[in-house]
């Protein structure tokens, strides 16, 4: 069961990621990114991360991607024109990507002592997670809330009109 | 016991998937020519790294790996809101989303 679920959702995940690259319309790319994130949530569930699977669906596939599709539709982003891109990207970028992928794959395939994942094994409950989060890591958690507050203020300040008209400040 | 329930997947497959997702994100960052899609490729890279965090948390039965993913998600949410606000500001100033035409800072 685990093997079948892994193969199906890893396949969907890869297909979505490749589709993101191939589509030329931003809204299609956004929708395939939602597919990638949702199938990643299933993979998190297979690895026993219950809370993260829920958070992945709610925060990533829900909140962040709604923001993306909203901006794509707001700006009426059309079909992108394909150009060759910069010379640096072609000369350095693609060989570097290939090299990084090759190095990581070699290291992973030669790694000793990596375990296996089975169904219903090594499940981390939300209780365990929150016990650590709200005792040992309380300060970073609170700092994150300050970070998000600053991000909200920054987004409002950036997206508002420069001429001081206040009626459209709530766009983001 | 049901043989379907005892199947197992090596964790290295998860790590390989996360490496491939990250590389696809980098390729998207290089080949996409739309500001929003470039930004989406960054999200794809973050997701690839998150998958390897969760895999290693499973490997060592460590809760802190999952908590790190939680923090990455929070920072990604903040980053997405600020980044998209910047994209709206750029679109208002230039009336285009093509990265080739937003090259005022190029040497």
Task: Say how far apart CA B100 and CA A66 lie, in whole Å.
Answer: 26
Residue scoring higher pLDDT (B3 or B82): B82
Q: Is A132 exposed, middle or buried (0-12, 13-18, 19+ CB in 10 A)?
A: middle
Question: Which residues from A are below 8 Å from B54, CB to CB?
Answer: 43-44, 47, 49, 52
Q: What ipTM does this complex have? A: 0.89
What's residue B98's pLDDT? 84
**What ranges do the domains of chain A cover?**
2-80+88-136, 137-172
DSSP classification of residue A162 = T
Task: Say how far apart CA B63 and CA A132 lie, in whole Å.
Answer: 8
Residue scoring higher pLDDT (A16 or A171): A16
Q: How many helices (H) and strands (E) does chain A have?
A: 8, 1
C-alpha distance from residue A108 to each of A33, A46, B10, B56, B65 (Å): 26, 20, 11, 12, 18
Question: Which residues from B are below 8 Å from A48, CB to CB?
Answer: 58
Residues 6+ apart with CB under 8 A from A17: A32, A36, B20, B21, B24, B25, B44
Residues 6+ apart with CB under 8 A from B15: A108, A114, B52, B55
Residue A172 banded pLDDT, cuts 50, 70, 90: very low
Of B11, B36, B76, the CB nearest to A71: B36
Note the pTM of the prediction, 2 decimals: 0.88
Q: Which of B86, B89, B47 is nearest to B69 (CA)?
A: B47
Is residue A56 within 8 Å of residue B70, measured between CB atoms? no
Residue scoring higher pLDDT (A2 or A31): A31
The answer to whether A114 contacts B10, with C-beta atoms less than 8 Å apart, is yes
Q: CA nearest A45 in B: which residue? A: B54
Percentage of residues of chain B with pLDDT beyond 90: 56
Q: Is A83 exposed, middle or buried (0-12, 13-18, 19+ CB in 10 A)?
A: exposed
Report whether pLDDT(A107) > 70: yes
Report whether pLDDT(A43) > 50: yes
Of B31, B41, B51, the CB nearest to A40: B51
Task: Give the mean pLDDT of chain B.
Answer: 88
Most confident of A82-96, A109-123, B71-85: B71-85
Angle at B22 between CA A159 and CA B17, to 5 degrees: 135
Is residue A133 within 8 Å of residue A142, measured between CB atoms? no
Q: Is B49 exposed, middle or buried (0-12, 13-18, 19+ CB in 10 A)?
A: middle
Q: Which residues pair with A116 in a beta bridge?
A: B10
Q: Domain A2-80+88-136 belongs to what topology?
A: 1.20.120
**What's the CATH number of domain B11-94, 1.10.3720.10, 3.30.420.40, 1.10.340.30, 1.10.287.3510?**
1.10.287.3510
C-alpha distance from A54 to closest chain B C-alpha (Å): 11
pLDDT tens for residues A8-26? 999 999 999 999 999 889 9
**Mean pLDDT confidence for A120-134:** 85
**What ranges do the domains of chain B cover?**
11-94
Residue B68 banded pLDDT, cuts 50, 70, 90: very high
What's residue B6's pLDDT? 67
């Amino acid at each position: 069961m685990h093997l079948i679920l892994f193969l199906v959702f890893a396949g969907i995940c890869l297909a979505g990621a490749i589709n993101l690259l191939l589509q030329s319309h931003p809204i299609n790319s956004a929708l395939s990114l939602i597919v990638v994130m949702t199938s990643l949530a299933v993979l998190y569930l297979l690895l026993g991360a219950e809370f993260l699977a829920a958070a992945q669906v709610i925060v990533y596939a829900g909140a962040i991607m709604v923001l993306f599709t909203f901006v794509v539709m707001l700006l009426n982003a059309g079909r992108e024109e394909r150009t060759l891109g910069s010379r640096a990207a072609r000369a350095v970028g693609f060989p570097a990507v290939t090299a990084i992928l090759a190095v990581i794959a070699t290291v992973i395939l030669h790694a000793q002592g990596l375990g296996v994942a089975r169904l219903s094994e090594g499940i981390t409950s939300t209780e365990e997670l929150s016990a650590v989060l709200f005792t040992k890591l309380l300060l970073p958690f609170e700092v994150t809330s300050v970070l998000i507050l600053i991000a909200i203020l920054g987004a409002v300040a950036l997206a508002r009109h420069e001429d001081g008209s206040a009626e459209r400040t709530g766009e983001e | 016991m049901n043989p379907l329930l005892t199947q197992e997947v090596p964790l290295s497959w998860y790590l390989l998937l996360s490496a491939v997702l990250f590389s696809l994100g980098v390729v998207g960052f290089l080949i996409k020519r739309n500001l929003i899609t470039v930004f989406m490729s960054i999200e794809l890279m973050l997701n690839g790294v998150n998958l390897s965090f969760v895999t290693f948390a499973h490997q060592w039965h460590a809760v802190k790996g999952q908590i790190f993913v939680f923090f990455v998600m929070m920072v990604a949410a903040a980053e997405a809101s600020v980044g998209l606000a910047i994209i709206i500001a750029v679109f208002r100033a230039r009336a285009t989303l093509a990265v080739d035409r937003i090259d005022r800072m190029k040497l």
